Structures are given as structure tokens and as C-alpha cells.
Structure 1
């Protein structure tokens, strides 16, 4: 009897674990792409996530090789996409740092870089 109860609970526990893993907005892809090299400085950075985002609690910061902030600070969020315009910049390594709150109230954050020029 105990084995049948345990055998019935294992699939339920697996489903709950999978559901919890999907309950966060993870970075799906970005433009410019993570780690990519682009010929000229982009006008904006756009990020796509695995879940819809809560606009009031999402941020992106972009800095250049000197550590100077080059984003305008005006983040646009729609659905699972977030973007920010950039001021004109030069070549070098750009660093993107983000923090999001998905509509299911879970926060995630991360960072990546891409190269401009060369």
C-alpha cells in the first residue's frame, strides 16, 4: 500500500518541480546578441524573456568600456520584451545589466557584454 502511494506521489512532485522552474522570467535572447561583436554602436538594446514582465519593476543599465552609463534610463517594456535607447557611443566592450519582475512576482537579474567595432 505504501509503495503505491509513493509511486503516485512521484509524478506529482515532478510536475510541481517543473512548474516552479518555469515560474521565473529568464533571458531568452538579446539584440545585440550576448557576447557578439557588432560593427557600429547600436541605438538600443532589446532583451526578450521567457515570461511576461511587470513594467514598473524592470531595469536595464548599459555602460561602455570606461564604465560610463550610456543608456537613456527610459526602459520600455511590453509583454516579454524590454528595451532601452542608447546615447551615441564608440567602440569597445559594452556591459548590460538587467533586473526584471515577471507577472507571477518572481525576480531575476543578470548581465552580459558585447563588443562594438573591430
Structure 2
């Protein structure tokens, strides 16, 4: 998980511009903030861990959706859909999970491109 956040921090540091908006700063460690988290593009490490645990342990969700095990959710689109990396496959692609139809759609070839494309409006759900 820490390699993921370091990668997000580096990618966002190159791409994110402008000040943080009130209430949007979530830091993994209080000594420094990841611009990707500041801009709402990537959850904090605590939220990544808790959201993924909740999704995997909820027996009601298990009856409605395909397994979440291959996915590592790290952000939300603000409409109930979530963004994820493939946690068990050595593939850097980012996918969007649609909560209404359980589809998983490719949205970016890497975390860096995901951040760039979200910042520039190229990814909209």
C-alpha cells in the first residue's frame, strides 16, 4: 500500500496545481500531504484500508456483486462508482467499478495517467 501512495504522491506532485480547498486535505502522515489526496483524487491510506475491508466483508454485497478480491479501491467518483487498481495482477491499469450494474471499465493505463486525466476532465463517470 505504501508504494501505491508514494506513486500517487509523485504523480500528483507533477500534475496537481492550485491550493487545497477547505476540508479536502487528507494526509497519510501529518508531516506532508499528497496533492492527489488534497484534490480528492486518491483516498487516505486509512480510508483505502477501511473501504476495501468493508466491501470484502459485507455479505449482502457478496450476493449482489462479483467478488471484489482482485480490486484495490482507492478513490470514488462522487456518484457511488469507485476507482480501483488490480491488486493481484501485475498490471498498472485503473478501472472504474459501476455500483449500479457491477461493470468494471478500463479508464487509464496507469495511476499517473488516471490522476492527469481526472485533473484535466478526461475521465468522467
Larger strand proportion, structure 1 or 2? 1
| Fold match by TM threshold 0.5 | no
Larger helix proportion, structure 1 or 2? 2
**TM-score normalised per structure 1:** 0.23
Larger Rg: 1
**TM-score normalised per structure 2:** 0.22
